[in-house]
Amino acid sequence: MVKIEINRLNDAFLMEAVNEAGNTVRLDASTDSGGSNQGMRPMQLLLAALGACGSFDVIAILKNKSKT
* pLDDT score of 66: 82
Give the total number of structural domains in the chain: 1
The tens digit of pLDDT for each residue in 48-66 reads 999 999 999 999 999 998 8
The set of long-range contacts for 63-67, using a CB threshold of 8 Å and a minimum separation of 24, is: none
Q: pTM for the full model?
A: 0.82
CA dist., res. 10 & res. 63, Å (int): 43
DSSP state of 18: E
Beta-ladder partners of 27: 15, 40
Domain that holds residue 15: 4-67
Residues 5-63 have pLDDT tens digits of 999 999 999 999 999 999 999 999 999 999 999 999 999 999 999 999 999 999 999 99
Distance, CA of 23 to CA of 9 (rounded, Å): 16
